[in-house]
């Protein structure tokens, strides 16, 4: 069995992700708020806080370089479906260069997110306390999700928000290829599988031009 790597430190994360001291400081605040709230409500998997900078912060931050460049001054508009504790959406917002909409139906998690947004001073983020299926569509450039549902279900939820140039970036586990194969039976799309930087069995699915087969 391969030995697990030692926990990633904030400083190591900052070096590998090339972020500014100011962004690192805001991410530290996020992690502190997460640790405090985790004692009251279940926000992340039990035991993952021991390596929070790898398992949650770096895992989310690896999506940032994949965001498209758009002409808007605020950068691409991102919607993070079922954001939970804010991964990857709130991490993307803190790093900056985009406008992020967090969608989460659990009111307790939304209370945490509001506090995390306040303390990190993330002013480019909007929180929607609603199920994805009940959110009125609006134009988005990117749709993200992490450990939310099967690929076919994710695409169904994203459907009302998909435009010709919308990009989907879905963080998936070891069943990513199997789910993609099943989904391609009923849909066409441009799909790229990107190896996760934090999990040998993880994949980021980069999907575009998603169409239902006739």
In a domain, 143, yes or no: yes
In a domain, 138, yes or no: yes
61 in Cβ contact with 17 (< 8 Å): yes
Predicted structure pTM score: 0.95
pLDDT value at residue 1: 45
Average pLDDT of 180-193? 96
89 falls in which pLDDT band (50, 70, 90)?
very high
In a domain, 2, yes or no: no
- Residue 28 in tokens: 């530290």
In a domain, 106, yes or no: yes
- Convert the pLDDT of each residue in 124-169 to its tens digit: 999 999 999 999 999 999 999 998 999 999 999 999 999 999 999 9
Number of domains in the chain: 1
pLDDT value at residue 74: 81
30 in Cβ contact with 116 (< 8 Å): yes
Q: How far apart are CA 169 and CA 67, in angstroms?
A: 9
190 in Cβ contact with 209 (< 8 Å): yes
- Buried/exposed 21-39: b ≥16 CB within 10 Å, e otherwise: eebbebbeebbebbeebbe
pLDDT value at residue 155: 97
In a domain, 148, yes or no: yes
Q: Measured between alpha carbons, how far is residue 154 from residues 6, 128, 132 in Å?
A: 33, 18, 10
Average pLDDT of 88-95? 98
In a domain, 165, yes or no: yes
Domain holding 50, by residue range, is: 10-212
| Closest CA relative to residue 181, chosen from 212, 159, 151, 155 | 151
Q: How far apart are CA 168 and CA 194, in angstroms?
A: 13
52 falls in which pLDDT band (50, 70, 90)?
very high
* CATH classification of the domain holding 111: 3.40.50.150
Strand partners, 170: 145, 205
In a domain, 1, yes or no: no
176 falls in which pLDDT band (50, 70, 90)?
very high
3-state class percentages of the chain: helix first, strand second, coil last, to nearest 5? 40, 20, 40
Q: How far apart are CA 164 and CA 162, in angstroms?
A: 7
Average pLDDT for the chain: 95
Average pLDDT of 80-104? 98
In a domain, 205, yes or no: yes
pLDDT surpasses 60 at 2: no
């Amino acid at each position: 069995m391969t030995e697990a790597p030692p926990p990633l430190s904030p400083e190591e994360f900052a070096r590998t992700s090339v972020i500014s001291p100011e962004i690192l400081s805001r991410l530290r605040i996020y992690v502190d708020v997460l640790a405090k709230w985790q004692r009251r409500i279940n926000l992340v998997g039990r035991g993952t806080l021991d390596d929070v900078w790898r398992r949650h912060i770096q895992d989310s931050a690896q999506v940032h370089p994949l965001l498209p460049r758009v002409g808007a001054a605020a950068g691409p508009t991102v919607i993070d479906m079922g954001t939970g504790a804010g991964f990857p959406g709130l991490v993307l917002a803190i790093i900056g260069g985009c406008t992020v909409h967090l969608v989460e139906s659990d009111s307790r998690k939304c209370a945490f997110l509001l506090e995390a947004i306040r303390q990190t001073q993330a002013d480019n983020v909007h929180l929607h306390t609603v199920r994805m299926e009940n959110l009125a569509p609006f134009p988005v450039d990117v749709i993200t999700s992490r450990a939310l549902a099967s690929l076919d279900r994710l695409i169904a939820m994203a459907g009302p928000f998909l435009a010709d140039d919308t990009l989907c970036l879905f963080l998936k586990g070891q069943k990513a290829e199997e789910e993609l194969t099943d989904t391609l039976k009923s849909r066409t799309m441009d799909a790229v599988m990107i190896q996760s930087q934090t999990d040998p069995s993880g994949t980021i699915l980069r999907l575009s031009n998603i169409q239902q087969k006739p």
